[in-house]
């Protein structure tokens, strides 16, 4: 049995490389991506529950999956994207530094160590929820949280991780049982050419 990580669909701000306020919704293409990953998961089957970040861009993605699977969506604030505080709403490329890699907390935001600790708590929550199932668990979350899980409990090679662009609605699957081996990384087989992002948009934030 496995845990299936799904990054949320595209938003207009994500595509424009702007750090996203909490209330940012999916774009039209993001909604199409969400429907596409929902169809793929429904065809795959063997899914018992859906756990999601409660931020709108993830929640809307999870709702599309829930509708396709006939399952309710359970919210977990632990799955939220890193909080960039006063930097939210700012164009990434005009800041003069990489906020996605900064260790300290931006004003009103969350430090990298605090975020990493929260990601670990989210990982443990996934495993607890999965243990209640006799099926796979879908987890809908955000780019930086997935990246932090890959770097931490999923032990992905740092060089390979540094080169990885996590696509919108990409699917990554890992074994729920230790050592939590990755079965699939950054899968986008459910997206057609018009739905795929061009790797220009932000992969987190």
pLDDT at 95: 92
Active site residue 8: yes
Per-residue pLDDT at 198 exceeds 80? no
- In angstroms, rounded to a whole number, what is the distance separating the alpha carbons of residues 107 and 130? 36
Break the chain into its structural domains and give their ranges: 2-187
Global model pTM greater than 0.85? yes
Sheet holding 47-52, edge to edge: 73-75, 47-52, 136-141, 2-7, 171-175, 182-187
Query: Residue 32's pLDDT is what?
Result: 96
Q: Which residues of 46-55 are buried (b: 16+ CB within 10 A; e: fewer)?
A: ebbbbbbbbb
Residues 4-29 pLDDT 10s: 999 999 999 999 999 999 999 999 99
End-to-end CA distance of the chain, in Å?
30
DSSP conformation class of 203: S
Per the annotation, the verdict on 10 as an active-site residue is no
Whole-Å CA distances, 97 to 93, 102, 103 = 8, 8, 12
Percent of the chain with pLDDT over 90: 86
Distance, in Å, from the CA atom of 176 to the CA atom of 189, rounded to the nearest integer, reads 22
* Structural tokens at position 31: 């909604």
Quick one: pLDDT at residue 106?
Answer: 94
Verify cis geometry, omega within 30 degrees of 0, for the bond prior to 179.
yes
Instruction: Report pLDDT digits (tens) over 48-88.
Output: 999 999 999 999 999 999 999 999 999 999 999 999 999 99
Characterise 62 by phi-psi region: left (phi > 0), alpha (psi -120 to 50), beta (else).
Answer: alpha
The CATH number assigned to the domain with range 2-187 reads 3.40.50.1240
pLDDT in tens, 132-178: 999 999 999 999 999 999 999 999 988 888 889 999 999 999 999 99
Catalytic, out of 10, 63, 81, 195: 81
């Amino acid at each position: 049995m496995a845990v299936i990580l799904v990054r949320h669909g595209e938003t207009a701000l994500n595509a424009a490389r702007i750090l996203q306020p909490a209330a940012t919704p999916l774009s039209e293409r993001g909604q199409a991506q969400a429907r596409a990953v929902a169809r793929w998961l429904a065809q795959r089957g063997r899914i018992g529950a859906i756990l999601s970040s409660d931020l709108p861009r993830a929640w809307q993605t999870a709702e599309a999956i829930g509708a396709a699977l006939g399952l309710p969506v359970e919210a977990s604030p632990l799955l939220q994207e890193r909080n960039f505080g006063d930097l939210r709403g700012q164009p990434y490329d005009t800041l003069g530094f990489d906020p996605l890699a900064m260790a300290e907390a931006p004003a009103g935001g969350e430090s990298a160590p605090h975020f990493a600790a929260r990601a670990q708590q989210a990982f443990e929550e996934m495993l607890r929820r999965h243990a209640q199932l006799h099926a796979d668990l879908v987890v809908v979350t955000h780019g930086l949280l997935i990246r932090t899980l890959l770097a931490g409990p999923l032990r992905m090679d740092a060089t390979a991780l540094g080169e990885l662009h996590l696509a919108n609605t990409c699917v990554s699957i890992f074994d729920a049982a230790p050592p939590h081996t990755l079965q699939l990384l950054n899968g986008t087989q459910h997206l057609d050419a018009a739905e795929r992002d061009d790797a220009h948009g932000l992969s987190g934030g």
